[in-house]
Amino acid sequence: MMIKLQAKDITFSYNSHPILDNVDFEIAPARLVTIVGPNGSGKSTLIKCIDRIVSPQKGSILIDRKDVTQMSRRDVARYLSYVPQSSVRVFPTNVFDTILMGRRPHIGWLGSDDDEAKVWDVLRLLNIERLAMSNFNELSGGQQQKVLIARALVQEAEVMLLDEPTSNLDIWHQLDVMNIIRDVVRKREITALMALHDLNLASTFSDRIIMMKKGKIVAAGDPTSVITAENIASVYRVQAAVRIMSDRPMIMPLQQIREGRA
C-alpha cells in the first residue's frame, strides 16, 4: 500500500499531563480521514502536532517518507496546510489578501501575477469570488470557513489538516463545507485529515475514521467498522442506536452510561 502520511509513536504531554500517548497511524494518498473522539481525547492536539504548531516530545511524522520534524517551518508549510477552527483578525483584511497569505511558502517579496491567478482560481473553485474584496471579519461563519479552506488550498500542500471545520455551522453549511473538502480530495488528489465532532458527518464523508480516547487510538478503519454501538459505548459512554443508511452507519444517541454510580 502507498503511504502518504505516517505518524510514528507521537507522544505529547502538557505540563506533564499526557495528551497523546504513542499515537501511530498511516494514511494512503487522496483519502479523506477523520479523527473522532470525546472532548479532551487529543484530536486537535494530534492535528497540531502533525503540523508542528506544537512539538511532540517523542515520535516522528513522515510525508512521502520525509520526516516533517526535521524540516524548516517553511518546508513544512509546503507539505502540510492547516485549516484552523476559526480565525479572528484584529485588523480587518479583505478576503483576497487573507487567501494570498497561503502563498507565502512559495513566493518572493514582490509576489507575482501567477500567485494572484492561483487565488482567483481557488476563489472560483469554492464559488466565493464575489467575496474577494469583502472584509473577512464581516463574513458569516460558513463563508469564513470557506476562506480558510481556500487559504490552505493555495498553499498547494499535498496533505491538508483541518480542525473541526464544521463546528459553529448550520446543517446546510456543514454539508457544504464537507462537500467542498471531499471534492478537493478527489479532484486535486489531496490527502485530508480532520478532527471532527459530528459522528454522522464523519461517517458520511470519510474514507477512513480514526477513533481516539484519552490520547490513544482505540479503533481505525472504514466507517462501518469504527462507528459501532460497542465503540461508542466504550469511548463516549453513550448508549446509541446505529443504523446503516446508504452503506454508511448513522448513529442516534439514546442515553448516557453512568458506570460506577448508584
Is the CB of 154 or the CB of 199 nearer to another protein? 154
Shortest gap between Cβ of 67 and another protein (angstroms)? Answer: 17
Is the CB of 21 or the CB of 121 nearer to another protein? 121
Shortest gap between Cβ of 161 and another protein (angstroms)? Answer: 8
Shortest gap between Cβ of 140 and another protein (angstroms)? Answer: 16
Is the CB of 121 or the CB of 222 nearer to another protein? 121
Is the CB of 187 or the CB of 237 nearer to another protein? 187
3-state secondary structure the chain: CCCCEEEEEEEEEECCEEEEEEEEEEECCCCEEEEECCCCCCHHHHHHHHCCCCCCCEEEEEECCEEHHHCCHHHHHHHEEEECCCCCCCCCCEHHHHHHHHHCCCCCCCCCHHHHHHHHHHHHHCCCHHHCCCEHHHCCHHHHHHHHHHHHHHCCCCEEEEECCCCCCCHHHHHHHHHHHHHHHHHCCCEEEEECCCHHHHHHHCCEEEEEECCEEEEEECHHHHCCHHHHHHHHCEEEEEEEECCEEEEEEEEECCCCCC
**The C-alpha cell that represents 188 in the structure block:** 486535486
Shortest gap between Cβ of 174 and another protein (angstroms)? Answer: 22
Shortest gap between Cβ of 227 and another protein (angstroms)? Answer: 29
Shortest gap between Cβ of 165 and another protein (angstroms)? Answer: 14
Is the CB of 163 or the CB of 232 nearer to another protein? 163
Residues that bind another protein (CB under 8 A): 48, 51-53, 73-78, 80-82, 84, 87-94, 96-98, 101-102, 104-105, 107, 109, 117, 120-121, 123-125, 127, 129-130, 132-133, 135, 137, 151, 155, 161
Is the CB of 74 or the CB of 186 nearer to another protein? 74
